[in-house]
Structure 1
Amino acid sequence: MSTKSEDNKRIVRRIRDEVEEQGDLGAVDEIFAEDVVVHTPMGEFSGREAIKEMYEGDRKAFSDSTETIHDFVAEGNTVAIRMTERGTHDGEFMGMEPTGKEYEIQTTAFLHLEDGKVAEWWIQPDTLGFLQQLGVNPENLSEAMPAEDD
């Protein structure tokens, strides 16, 4: 008999196995709540369609990206992951032309599940390390980003 924590880990593992590795965006509808909220260092977004757009954009910008999970812990309705992300910037990303540079960063994520679906997701990548490895000055990037009042 499986526990709720084990069931939640299986659901979250589907993100990596089916969506990220296999590119199955249809699985997003099965894994995520319709009104899921995603928190990232670059801002928040919500909904399954926004998640699909995120994965499509990432796949175009980093066609060879991979993740290695080091820790995968669940308690109740929360799953925590610590992983290493690697890839090559070979497509446009957030208005940045491809640099052809490789990156390797550490990322943590916490996912809250409700009724067997991911309802909220906090992603904390090493954004500064990522930008530095791509040769991007974070100050230049912030100048290119639209202000929230726009």
Structure 2
Amino acid sequence: MAEHQNKAVARRAWEIFASGDLDALDDVVAPGAAFHDTQDPFGSQRGPEHMRNLIQMYRNAFSNMRFDVKLQISEGDYVCTLLEAQGDNTGELMGRPATGRHSRIQITQTDRIVDGKIEESWVTWDTLGMLQQLGLVPTGPQAAHT
């Protein structure tokens, strides 16, 4: 598959995340797809079902979610996407009550795409920054004294 088509698949996955059209995941995620993210509570799951659970968790926790793709680089079967994610924390997140605060973070995701579907994905995101913005962990001098 051409590199520009692979980029479109990776971008489409983020569009699905933003829209909440979870049935569309079957179109872009392979049945046995593996996901690598140290912050992922569904890490043992694979394929579209894994993505459905992860997306639903974040969509329940954040309203007004937006993903702005800043850069995509493709080589062979791999696509690296740099994006900005933002939303308002209006629901429970990993056992913590909603804070009502806005969060804006950077995400880098590298996908391996085979036959038009994501087969494997590695994601790195600013977990600490998000938790600080939500007021769930201390920042600045306050952090040094806890």
TM over 0.5: yes
Aligned residues: 135
d(CA) in 1 for partners of 2:11 and 2:84?
Answer: 15
What residue is the counterpart of 2:52 in the other structure? 52
In the superposition, the TM-score normalised over structure 1's length comes to 0.84
Gap runs ≥5 in structure 1 = 139-150
Please list the CA deviations of residues 43-72 of structure 1 after superposition, one character each: whole Å capped at 9, or x if unmatched: 434221121011111111102111111101
RMSD of aligned residue pairs (Cα, Å): 1.5
Tell me if structure 2 keeps the 8 A contact 1:90–1:99.
Answer: yes
d(CA) in 2 for partners of 1:59 and 1:78?
Answer: 27
The residue type equivalent to 1:122 in the other structure is W
The residue type equivalent to 2:60 in the other structure is K
In the superposition, the TM-score normalised over structure 2's length comes to 0.86
What residue is the counterpart of 2:14 in the other structure? 16
Which consecutive aligned stretches of 4+ in structure 1 deviate over 3 angstroms post-superposition? Answer: none
Tell me if structure 1 keeps the 8 A contact 2:10–2:81.
Answer: no
Please list the CA deviations of residues 68-108 of structure 1 after superposition, one character each: whole Å capped at 9, or x if unmatched: 11101111100011111111110011111101111111111
What residue is the counterpart of 1:26 in the other structure? 23
What residue is the counterpart of 2:104 in the other structure? 104
Aligned CA distance change for structure 1 residues 42 and 21 (closer, same or farther; 3 Å): closer
What residue is the counterpart of 2:3 in the other structure? 5
Gap runs ≥5 in structure 2 = 139-146
SS at match of 1:88: strand
Report 1:41-80 matches (<5 A). 41-43=38-40, 44-45=43-44, 46-80=46-80
